[in-house]
Amino acid sequence: MQLFMANFADGDPKLPVTHRSYTNEFDAAFFEAFHEEEVEIRRNLPREIRAFFTEHTIQDENLPLPPAAVISVRTQSRIPVSWAPHLRAIITRSTGYDHILAYWREANVEIPSAYLPLYCCRAVAEHALLLWTALLRRLPAQLESFARFDRNGLTGGEINGRTLAVFGVGQIGREVADIGKALRMRVVGVDLSVTVEGLEFVSPEEALAQADVIVCAMNLTLKNRGYFNDNVWALGKPGAVFVNVSRGEISPFGPLRRALESGRLAGVGLDVFNEESNIAGFLRGSGHLKTMELSDFLALRRDPRVIFTPHNAFNSAEAVVRKSVQSVEQLEHFLSRGVFTTPVPFPFESCKL
C-alpha cells in the first residue's frame, strides 16, 4: 500500500483518500503480485508504463475504485461489480480463467480480458508429481517420525508399474501424462475430447476403478463443480491417492474427508481449494468460512495423509519469468492496439450476459 499512497496525484486536501478517483493515476495495477513476481514484471515493463503493485488481493486492499483502468489479478481477488464501469481491461496471470467468466456474469458485462495459457504447464505438472510421490511414500508421516527415528508404519509404495489417471488432458494434463510415462507408469486419460496420440483414454468409471494415482487437471466449468463427490469416490480403487492442481471447486472438502475415512483414498494432495479466496483470507486472519466447510478443511489439514500447498504449483523460477514476460506483452499489446493476443474466450456454456 505504500507505493500506492506515495504515487497519489495531488488532489483536494479536503477530500478523504477513499473518495478520490484513482483510475487515471496508473496505466496498470497488479494485484496479488508476490515479491519475485513483482521484480520480474518490473524488469520487463517499459519505463513509460506507470504501474501499481500490491501483494494483496483486491478485497484485502479494500479500494473504492481501481487504481488503473487496466488491472491484473491472479485467482483469489474478487473484483467488485462497482469497478466494472471504470475498467477497460483485465489480465489474469493464470492459466485458468473461470474467475473472469464468473465476474462477467456477476457484473453482466464482458470486459476485454486476457489469460496466460502456456506459461506454467510444466511447473504445475511437476508439482503434481511432487505431491503424488510424497503421498505414496508417506512423507508427512516420515517427517513427523524423524524425531524418534522410527520407521514403523512408514512403508510406502513405488511409482513404477502403478496406474495414473489424468482427469483433464489439456496442456497441463499432457505434461502430467508425459511425466507418468517417463516414470514407467501406466497412464490413462479422461477427457471430453480424445485428441492426444499415444495416450489411452477411458471412461471416468474405468479410470477410477483402475487408478492408483488420480490427478485432476480439469478446467473449471459450470458443469463440473463438485465433480469428485461421494458417488464418484465410491467407484474408486481403494487406497488410491488424489492430487488436484487445477481448481478446488472440483473437489470439495467433505467428500475428500469421507473418502479418506472410509479408506477409498489413502492420500490427498491439494494445491487448490474449494472457496479458495475465503480459505486464504481465513488463514491470513481476514476471512470467514461456513461451519461445515471449516470443519472439513481443518480435519483434512490435521490428517497426516494430506498435503496442502498454497496454490503454488505454478511457482517455478522459469515459470515466473515466462509469466512476467507474457503479462507485459499482453499489457503492451492492449495499450497500443486495444486487443489481447490471448483473450479469454466467450463461454459457450454460460448464460447470456
- Are 127 and 263 found together in one domain? yes
Kindly report, residue by residue over 198-252, the tens digit of the pLDDT.
Answer: 999 999 999 999 999 999 999 998 899 999 999 999 999 999 999 999 999 999 9
Q: Is the pLDDT of residue 350 over 60?
A: no
Among residues 326, 346, 337, which one has the least CA distance to residue 117? 326
Strands 89-92 and 28-30, by their bridges, are: unpaired
> Do 76 and 40 reside in the same domain of the chain?
yes
Residue 349's pLDDT band (cuts 50, 70, 90): very low
Co-location of 159 and 141 in the same domain: yes
Flag whether 160 is in a domain: yes
Residue 285's pLDDT band, with cuts at 50, 70 and 90, is: confident
We report the CATH number of the domain holding residue 248 as 3.40.50.720
Q: What is the distance in angstroms between the CA of the first residue and the CA of the last residue of the chain?
A: 34
- 14: pLDDT strictly greater than 50: no
Asked whether residue 344 is domain-assigned, the answer is no
pLDDT tens figures, 309-337: 999 999 999 999 999 999 999 999 999 99
The verdict on residue 292 lying in a domain is yes
Instruction: Give the pLDDT of residue 23.
Output: 54
Region at 156 (left for phi over 0; alpha for psi -120 to 50; beta for the rest): beta
What is the arithmetic mean of pLDDT over 269-282?
Answer: 93
Shared-domain flag, residues 143 and 289:
yes
User: 76 and 142, same structural domain?
Assistant: no
Place of cell 477497460: 88
* Residue 351 counted as domain residue: no
pLDDT-based confidence at residue 24 (cuts at 50, 70, 90): low
The reply to whether 157 and 182 lie within a common domain is: yes
Considering the chain, what is the average pLDDT of its residues? 90
Tell me which of 25-29, 124-128, 191-195 is least confident. Answer: 191-195
Same domain as 77, residue 17: yes
Claim to verify: residue 36 and residue 73 sit in the same structural domain:
yes
Pairing of strands 186-190, 89-92: unpaired
pLDDT in tens, 249-275: 999 999 999 999 999 999 999 999 999
Task: Name the pLDDT band for 18 (thresholds 50, 70, 90).
Answer: very low
Q: Are residues 191 and 164 in the same domain?
A: yes
**Rg of the Cα trace of the chain?**
22
Is 313 inside any structural domain?
Answer: no
> CA-CA distance, 180 to 59, in Å (whole number)?
39
**350 domain residue, yes or no:** no
φ/ψ bin of 138: left (φ > 0), alpha (ψ from -120 to 50), beta (otherwise): left
Domain count, the chain: 2
* Residue 25: per-residue pLDDT: 83
Label residue 303 by pLDDT band (50, 70, 90): very high
* Domain span holding position 269: 121-308
Are 302 and 159 found together in one domain? yes
Comparing C-alpha atoms, which of 180, 185, 229, 182 is closest to residue 204? 229
Q: Which residues contact 192 (CB under 8 A, 6 or more apart)?
A: none
3 has a pLDDT exceeding 50? no
Mean pLDDT of 139-148: 95
- One domain for residues 145 and 66: no
Q: Which three cell numbers stand for residue 100?
A: 473472469
Rounded to an integer, the average pLDDT of 66-94 is 97
| Amino acid identity at 319 | A
Pairing of strands 213-216, 163-167: parallel
